[in-house]
Structure 1
């Protein structure tokens, strides 16, 4: 399939370690980490007698056909457009082959681990064996160390590991090993553990310039205050949903981020009185709770922003709130993905204890139930504002998670991610260093792309703004007010087929003048974002007052609302949801469905970043949506 790791590019950066097998050697280097992620330090060797649960992620069947299968139901020219798969079909198609299971199990048993110690997950995706550190080090030809993070967290990892030549092709990755998946952040702050993704200031956390004394909710004031009337006018969202019982639209939040009902009601009283007293449809995952013990912008800003605008724009359509993680522990991306797709769960519904939260949680007020695994039906459109820096993760880890988003696409789910608020820099405005170590610092010079936005199977959403003094009818520009629209080119993922024409034209007509060694200038990597929407000057009710808020975490649920209403129209006439949208929106048929953004930059890493230009660009993507034209295009498809 076209989705490939950019091996040559990665080797030049030292991100992959690859050795050629020799006739004398039965082992091959499987993965190698080039540096210790920012914030972590080696504390000591892991005690040889301590227990270390190893999990082997098995190579999935038909994974090389995944992209073609997804395009077959997502490209507007395909005769199978819209024929989404049932979850059982996804599980059956991609389960590792019996040969893969037998080869890896046979190796483990031959290494002295009896049949009773080697367990296969019900999904057949993972093999688990409980070992001592000494046994694991001998098995993988490596050394395990304990790492400490400045936050106080600890983590067990090795810098490289080896597998037998005949086993390596059947294994995606081993946990715990080189991976630091515990480094997950919402754009705009430094890296923090995955388990605490909802903590204040983590990730694409919305920015605020403070409270406002009076609201200007008129179209002539959209340059200084964005309210729902501005967004409806900007993107032509004049639509009353008709199939609310058939349609679903989901927003993801991670505890302790939570909305306040009093803030929702304050917002609705001003902008949509029929919603006063209305709450989102609550879906708790792994003990997710709407906490009210800690309040204020840091705890309520994100969730209030998402829900106030999403619920207003799709009213009377219900909005599903996926609240993930309990109060003591929080949760990670994998906890959420486990709940949506049982085949993604690692072992009997659980995850790697060094990577993700494990439930039941015995801490006070912890979630005492089993981890949610395949228990939650995914909404037709899912909007989320969290993400990693690519450099926080190994290529194999991101590839495996990216494949899960493709599987959701096969099931007809539209997955949206915010592109980031730091331009070409990553979380915390961190950039990669020029010394080849790929370490991330504030004074780095190399562009630092984000993930999952760089995954070709999600839709990445950037941010625009109305320039001060301009009318809502004037062209928007790339957001350069308080935040900068995240965008650039992946260091891990190859360019998908649907994007080749658009990116090729950009590089041909507007190739950046930056030195080639500070960005992925190969021309064969995934570019992001895909589309954009306004992300500046939102009026949001927080803690009993209105504040002005900025971020791609604002633009993403707006795009989600627009796509949810497209689904409503299709469902009303007996058609299916739009599912994975990228092959359609990049096609010639949709070329007139977006407002092209041709002004502004996304500075970062001590550079002006990229520039918004005619056509697709790595600042605002294809541009901002025209609801009427999108609706027209999608209603003509099967």
Structure 2
């Protein structure tokens, strides 16, 4: 049975004798705060790090009231609650979860008692991170550990330790510390020949030698990746393996609904899910789609698509909000630069008609960006107060690494969150530390408190992770691994995960769909980081009791784990205009913005009668009140890791979730809620 990894690692009691020197007190009772069990695939320990080198220690302080976060969220999200729909504002969220003064004072005192001068200790705004530039020798004494330089098979390097210790009395005050055990990104094949700034070696680095920069041109599929920093981490473009998958070119466009099994269009989706609705108050509503540079849309592609399938909005553009230098780049074109954004926007805009769609374009062309960079921009409390970034995975802006990079101020609380936010990217959960995913997951809960619906694609490789990687006996990823590999953030209980279905070949648009088994397999399974939330307990227990998976417990996490996806929608044979031509496209990258568009229309109807947006929907859609609001999917599977995967069955299943939207039924139910 896979161990359930909770929001914080269990403390392991130990006493460590610290070497006597001016910055360390001797024989302080300490506990292991984080420990890594295995070196990730492709990495090896190269050498001991130089004791005189500097590393930027960042100590994340434990937030207040996190034990009540779920309770607060359910109060505004559970349809039986008297506070349903009474969402919080940003100021209330920030105040409620800010670390206590005691936490700040204790950590500051620990550093001072260990010999760090006051001028070297920096506490971030609202007292949530403590930062200190320490030599390797100082950091090793402080944390009772040893720092090594790890080398990847590609030649890139990363600095980390295997475990670290903190005073036992601080274990409840410190969330996690970086850089320590984390290998928070997977190195991909080098991408382009962008030149780092001449001042690169003067910036704070974790490896003293010059990083091996590359001279290749921007590659295409299977080699698209962001540049690497000197520490060897891949900073941007989360979920490289979750791009939509292309099919063949489309020569004939069908004007009726007779061929939806071969070609999905907006009209096919309207027929499948009963979407007959024109926005009433689009000026009060908002729908956001997130893209990560260099993924970018082409306006000419939108025009071609709208001319064919939505002529009433031809020439309409999304409202682009630039985050950390993000822009709709035109230097590189092709499906793997334009396919994702073209798909998301064409269907998101066509299905919501006159509704304004906000495009959150994140990251410059050089460093890229992570989910945390986006979250910083839409929630100033996360950026300023929670300090969610981890420098080992999140891009540090302003861009000091590359000539031509974004040098403006870090995007912090500059973009109000839309009521519904759709993201078609994902990490593999195993690539991220438990504490990192826990901190980010808590932010999604806070967005739910503020009335935001957050959607993420569940993945395109069935029970395997992005790029068809599974977990092996060493706990790392490989193609021959046999343990299921869940994606993140789908495993976070505070997002809504979206899987994929298909119209079976030869079937009518009125026939039942099945789980998608063309080109892609709907991602689904059970998290290794997060426990099962109460809202889905009954639905998942029904599945496990009546349709138990035929796999041993060491292949999937059977220990009361968060299960996903929550919903699904068609993800096969989409007609998409890319680079001035129509092609067929597959993926949960398609189903996610479709569900986002449908929920946006629900919000419009509620806002038109003076009600609040639907916010975090999971407690509602799993409730008895929503029985019959979805089209149950009962056939198909999501193979991966050398297995047939899970199977779609009556009721909830880890392939298609609760099923696909039945818009009229959903609309009626949500309109009757307060």
Residue aligning to 2:620: 584
The answer as to 2:60 corresponding to 1:60 is no
- The corresponding residue for 2:78 is 75
Q: Which residue of 1 aligns with 2:134?
A: 131
Q: 1:313 to 1:152 in 2, by over 3 A?
A: farther
Helix, strand or coil at the partner of 2:282 = coil
- Judging changes above 3 Å, is the alpha-carbon distance between structure 1 residues 358 and 84 closer, same or farther for their aligned structure 2 residues? same
1:432-491 residue CA offsets vs partner (Å, 9 max, x unmatched): 11x3x2111111111111110000000000000000000010000000000000000111
Instruction: Select the residue among 357, 371, 375 that pairs with 1:337.
Output: 375
Using a 3 Å threshold, how does the CA distance of structure 1 residues 296 and 353 change in structure 2: closer, same or farther? same
Q: CA RMSD in A?
A: 2.2
Q: Helix, strand or coil: the match of 1:123? A: helix
Distance in 1 of aligned mates of 2:501 and 2:82: 35
Tell me the residue number matched to 2:359. 321
- Using the TM superposition, give the Cα deviation of residue 37 of structure 1 relative to its aligned residue in structure 2, in angstroms: 2.0
- Tell me if structure 2 keeps the 8 A contact 1:146–1:154: yes
SS of 2:322's partner is: strand
Query: How many Å separate the matches in 2 of 1:305 and 1:611?
Result: 28
Deviation at 1:350, TM superposition (A): 9.1
Task: Report how far residue 154 of structure 1 moved.
Answer: 3.2
Task: Tell me if the contact between 1:111 and 1:139 (Cα under 8 Å) persists in the aligned partners.
Answer: yes
Q: Secondary structure at the match of 2:258?
A: helix
Offset, 1:147: 2.6
Determine if contact 1:461/1:533 at 8 Å carries over to the other structure: yes
2:58 is the counterpart of 1:19? no
Structure 2 SS opposite 1:282: strand
> Are residues 162 and 189 of structure 1, via their aligned partners in 2, closer, same or farther at CA, if it must alter by over 3 Å?
farther
What is residue 295 of structure 1 aligned with on the other side?
333
Task: Decide which moves more: 498-507 or 326-335.
Answer: 326-335
Supply the distance in 1 between the matched residues of 2:524 and 2:128 (Cα, whole angstroms): 33
Q: Aligned partners of 1:514, 1:406: CA distance in 2, in Å? A: 32
Aligned in 2, Cα 1:169/1:628: closer, same or farther, shift over 3 Å? Answer: same
1:350-369 correspondence runs (5 A): 351-362=389-400, 363-369=402-408
Contact kept? 1:249, 1:382, Cα under 8 Å = yes
Within the alignment, does 1:382 sit opposite 2:421 as a pair? yes
Aligned partners of 2:3 and 2:557 also within 8 Å: no
Q: 1:518 aligns with which of 547, 555, 570?
A: 555
Show the counterpart of 1:477. Answer: 514
2:157 aligns with one of 146, 150, 154: 154
Shift in CA distance, 184/238, structure 1 to aligned 2, threshold 3 Å = farther
Q: 1:521 Cα shift? A: 1.8
Is the alpha carbon distance of 1:251 and 1:292 closer, same or farther for their aligned partners in structure 2, counting shifts above 3 Å? same
Alignment TM-score, normalising by the size of structure 1 = 0.94
SS of residue matched to 1:169: coil
Deviations 1:362-395 (A, max 9, x none): 4222111011111211000000011111111121
- Give the stretch that moved more between structures: 70-79 or 347-356: 347-356
- Of 637, 642, 646, 1:601 maps to 637
Q: Is 359-368 or 144-153 further displaced after alignment?
A: 144-153
Change (3 A) 1:627 1:155: same
**Alignment match, 2:599:** 563
Structure 1: runs of 5+ lacking an equivalent? 1-5
CA distance in 2, matches of 1:153, 1:561: 41
Per the alignment, residue 551 of structure 1 pairs with 587
- CA distance 1:494–1:573, shift in 2 (3 Å): same
Q: Is the 8 A contact 2:501 2:571 kept in 1?
A: yes
The residue that corresponds to 1:276 in the other structure is 314
Structure 1 counterpart of 2:301: 263
Q: State the alpha-carbon separation in 1 of the partners of residues 72 and 222 from structure 2.
A: 37
| Cα distance change, pair 392–549 in 1 and its aligned pair in 2 (3 A) | same
Once residues 335 and 280 of structure 2 are traced to their aligned partners in structure 1, the CA distance between those partners, rounded to angstroms, is 35
Change (3 A) 1:80 1:152: farther
Cα pair 2:235 2:394 within 8 Å, conserved: no
Q: Does 1:628 align with 2:668?
A: no
Q: Are positions 1:107 and 2:144 aligned together?
A: no
Matching of residue 503 in structure 1 with residue 540 in structure 2: yes
Number of residues of Structure 1 aligned to a counterpart in Structure 2:
624
Runs of 4+ in 1 over 4 A off after TM superposition: 15-18, 22-25, 150-153, 188-196, 346-352
Aligned to 1:613: 649
CA contact (8 A) 1:458 1:580 kept: yes
Is 1:432–2:471 an aligned residue pair?
yes
SS at match of 1:203: helix
Residues 1:448 and 2:441 aligned together? no
Q: What do residues 593-635 of structure 1 show as CA deviations (whole Å, max 9, x unaligned)? A: 0000000000000000000000000000000011111110110
Looking at structure 2, the residues matched to 616 and 261 of structure 1 have their Cα atoms a distance apart, in angstroms, of 39
Q: CA deviation at 1:210?
A: 2.3
Other structure's SS at 2:593 match: helix
- CA drift at 1:211: 1.2
1:218 deviation in Å?
A: 2.0
Using the alignment, how far apart are the partners of 1:33 and 1:348 within structure 2?
A: 25
Matched ranges for 1:398-409 at <5 A: 398-409=437-448
Q: Which runs of 5 or more residues in structure 2 are unaligned?
A: 17-26, 189-220, 227-232
- Aligned-partner Cα distance in 1 for 2:563–2:183: 24
2-structure distance, mates of 1:392, 1:422: 16
Q: Distance in 1 between matches of 2:389 and 2:68?
A: 26
Q: Say whether 1:94 aligns with 2:130.
A: no
> What is the TM-score of this pair, normalised by structure 2?
0.89
Aligned: 1:247 with 2:240: no
Q: 1:130 Cα deviation (Å)? A: 1.2
Q: Could you report, residue by residue, the CA deviation over 1:270-296 in whole angstroms, capped at 9, with x for unpaired residues?
A: 011122211100000000011101001
Structure-to-structure mapping, 1:537-548, within 5 angstroms: 537-548=573-584
Counterpart in 2 of 1:3? Answer: none
Cα shift at 1:25: 5.9
**Partners of 2:155 and 2:620 in 1: how far apart?**
46
CA distance in 1, matches of 2:427, 2:83: 34
Is the Cα contact below 8 Å between 2:94 and 2:385 reproduced in 1? no
